[in-house]
Structure 1
Amino acid sequence: MKAITYTNYGSPDVLELKEVAKPVPEDNQVLVKIHAASVNYGNLVLLKGKPYLARLVFGLLKPKYKIPGGDIAGQVEAVGKNVKLFKPGDEVFGDLSGCGWGAFAEYVSVPENALVIKPANVSFEEAAAVPMAAVTALQGLRDKGGILSGQKVLINGASGGVGAFAVQIAKSFGAEVTGVCSTRNLDILRSIGADHAIDYTKEDFTKKDECYDLILAVNGHHTIPAYKRVLSSNGTFVHVGGAEAQLFQTIFLGPWISMTGSKKMRSLLQRANQEDLLFMKELLEAGKVKPVIDRCYKLDEVPEAFRYFEEGHAQGKVIITM
């Protein structure tokens, strides 16, 4: 089969399209013919080995996983003898980040708990956009943020992969949602249901009088004290992405702020979870969430897809088609 491989950390230039052995499913595995995959921030970490702490998991000097890519959507071709949830012909989608990665290839063998049945009302490309980004948004809003109906929620970086899902998921919980993005993305925010949109090129929400019950930081460079200023008295801030300085402030200052006052400052490390993916499947089937896709690249164009994704201006998700 064809797959994107790499043997050293670095820029997208280290990625190569090669012929490799087609996997054979073990007793508890599902062999999936991949139709589509997607690019996420985690893929960049895996590619570059940065931040360096990530190398404790991905390999100190060289990458442990030779085929990158986490999100997939495709069709089951074969199953191991102990697999109970799927059969050949099933259309599935899932997150491989917890079981060896390998999405940028024509086939992959994975444990059945990494997959769920694809909703009939979404395409393979749309399904591939969902797993890592949508589950990150869900875990940030629900598990770390404790989102409740009627709350005022702000999503900073609302037009990217995680942010676009966060807006729609927050709306499904009954929140009043404000999205922060650039001028070119304002229409996207309105189209996915944001109640309010702030153009960060024209105004800084951290300097306004409006306060929020929950802030999800998917992007941006604001300091933790700036976020704290616009949290309501019992509000919660959740760091998902953005500047590294912001991450370290959340890790080291966040616990102290949380212990010494009523405002909570938290960070999220997304974890692949079949139950959360099933939750997203229900939202997709109900039409409460619609994946936003910026553009699609073919398998041999993965390096180009990474270069585009690195620029940080993708409107929604960047998809790889096989």
Structure 2
Amino acid sequence: MKAIVHDTYGPPSVLRLDEVERPTAGRGEVLVRILAAGLDQGVWHLTAGMPYLVRALGFGLRRPKVRIRGLDLAGRVEAVGRDVTRFRVGDEVYGTCDGSFAEYACTTEDRLAPKPANLDFARAAVVPVSACTALQGLRDAGRLEAGQTVLVLGAGGGVGTYAVQLAKALGAHVTGVCSTAKTELVRSIGADEVVDHTREDATSGAHRYDLVIDTGGNRPLRTLRRALAPRGTLVIVGGEGGGRWVGGFDRPMRAALLSPFVGQRFPMLAGKPCHEDLRVLAEFIEAGRVTPVVDRCYPLAEVPQALGHLREGTVRGKLAVTVQAD
């Protein structure tokens, strides 16, 4: 089968299309014929092996342990192993696996759910990682309640577009912060207020929010705290910049250490897609309350170019990858 692989860490150009052996479903596993995959910043971190913390977390110190990249998927069940009870051959599914930039992949049934009926495979494939992260950031780490105010930094990006829509669906008043080119998009997906960060500083302290979701930014913690209500909550989702060793991951770690000593909350978030939350998201999507935003869809062979495009920071919502024809 065809797959996007790499044998060394580096820039997107280390990724290549190659022939690899097709996997078989073991006990408790589901073999999925992948029709589409999603692309997020995590793919870049695992491709580059940066920051070095990524390698130390078990992904391979000198070279990647998993050669095939990609995490998000949408496709059809090709085969099931022993003890699989949720899925049958032919079911349309979405979720995650280790190596979704491939024609076939095995994963466990707890990482899959039925594909939302009103989505094609490309749009379903961009949901799992980013939307689960947004949901868990708002509901679990953020403890969001209806009627609260939410500030979403990076509202036009992958996690941000879901955070805006989910916060609205959960009953919040939402302010989205983005670049000039994305203001109309953020307004169209339901933000009550939109702030162009090139013209206005939403963290100046002029307005304070019950919950701030910072998606992949690099603002200092002291700056983010200005936007928080005295008993507000800050959830940092990933992060860019920083040094080669821990990169942007130092901000949530420092925030968690400070949290016990101040009135504001800075919980750690380790977003992880799971069957239950994928089903919750499917309900929101099928009800029309959440809609994936797809900037562009690339063919499998052009994953390196897609990853380069993602790193430019101009993507509106998500990028999808077409793996096979339906």
TM-score by length of 1: 0.95
The question of whether the paired residues in 1 share the 8 Å contact of 2:232 and 2:264 is answered with yes
The question of whether the paired residues in 2 share the 8 Å contact of 1:104 and 1:299 is answered with yes
Aligned to 2:224: 227
Counterparts of 2:100 and 2:16 in 1: how far apart (Å)? 14
Counterparts of 1:204 and 1:214 in 2: how far apart (Å)? 17
Aligned to 1:154: 151
Structure 1 residue 208, shift from structure 2 partner:
4.4
Structure 1 residue 319, shift from structure 2 partner:
0.5
Counterparts of 1:253 and 1:190 in 2: how far apart (Å)? 30
Structure 1 residue 139, shift from structure 2 partner:
1.0
Structure 1 residue 275, shift from structure 2 partner:
1.3
Letter in 1 for 2:101: F
Aligned to 1:28: 28
Counterparts of 2:251 and 2:17 in 1: how far apart (Å)? 39
SS in 2 for 1:267: coil
Letter in 1 for 2:216: N
SS in 2 for 1:64: coil
Aligned to 1:268: 269
RMSD: 1.3
Aligned to 1:164: 161
Aligned to 1:282: 283
The question of whether the paired residues in 1 share the 8 Å contact of 2:96 and 2:107 is answered with no
SS in 2 for 1:222: coil
Letter in 2 for 1:122: L
Q: Identify the match of residue 208 of structure 2 among 175, 193, 211.
A: 211
Q: Identity across aligned pairs (percent)?
A: 46
Structure 1 residue 253, shift from structure 2 partner:
4.4
Unpaired segments ≥5 residues, structure 2:
243-247
The more displaced of 130-139 and 246-255 is 246-255
The question of whether the paired residues in 2 share the 8 Å contact of 1:251 and 1:266 is answered with no
Letter in 1 for 2:270: L
Counterparts of 2:187 and 2:308 in 1: how far apart (Å)? 28
Counterparts of 1:320 and 1:92 in 2: how far apart (Å)? 16
SS in 1 for 2:177: strand
Unpaired segments ≥5 residues, structure 1:
none
| Superposed counterparts of 1:79-158, under 5 Å | 79-96=80-97, 101-158=98-155
TM-score by length of 2: 0.94
Counterparts of 2:309 and 2:164 in 1: how far apart (Å)? 23
The question of whether the paired residues in 2 share the 8 Å contact of 1:298 and 1:320 is answered with yes
The question of whether the paired residues in 2 share the 8 Å contact of 1:239 and 1:268 is answered with yes
Which contiguous aligned blocks of 4+ residues in structure 1 show a shift greater than 4 angstroms?
Answer: none
Counterparts of 2:60 and 2:273 in 1: how far apart (Å)? 20
| Superposed counterparts of 1:13-52, under 5 Å | 13-52=13-52
Counterparts of 2:255 and 2:310 in 1: how far apart (Å)? 30
Q: CA separation of 1:219/1:53 partners in 2, compared to 1, >3 Å: closer, same or farther?
A: closer
Q: CA separation of 1:108/1:249 partners in 2, compared to 1, >3 Å: closer, same or farther?
A: closer
Counterparts of 1:63 and 1:36 in 2: how far apart (Å)? 23
| Superposed counterparts of 1:224-263, under 5 Å | 224-245=221-242, 247-256=249-258, 258-263=259-264
Counterparts of 2:150 and 2:184 in 1: how far apart (Å)? 19
Structure 1 residue 113, shift from structure 2 partner:
1.3
Letter in 2 for 1:315: R
Aligned pairs, number: 317
Letter in 2 for 1:27: R
* 1:134-169 deviation line (CA, Å, top 9, x unaligned): 001011111111111001100000001100000001
SS in 1 for 2:124: helix
SS in 2 for 1:45: helix
The question of whether the paired residues in 2 share the 8 Å contact of 1:239 and 1:247 is answered with no
SS in 2 for 1:65: coil
Counterparts of 2:95 and 2:129 in 1: how far apart (Å)? 8
Structure 1 residue 202, shift from structure 2 partner:
0.5
Letter in 1 for 2:299: K
Letter in 2 for 1:4: I
Structure 1 residue 316, shift from structure 2 partner:
0.5
Structure 1 residue 244, shift from structure 2 partner:
4.2
Aligned to 2:314: 313
* 1:263-297 deviation line (CA, Å, top 9, x unaligned): 11233222232211111111111111000000000
Aligned to 1:183: 180
* 1:14-45 deviation line (CA, Å, top 9, x unaligned): 11111111111113211111110011111111
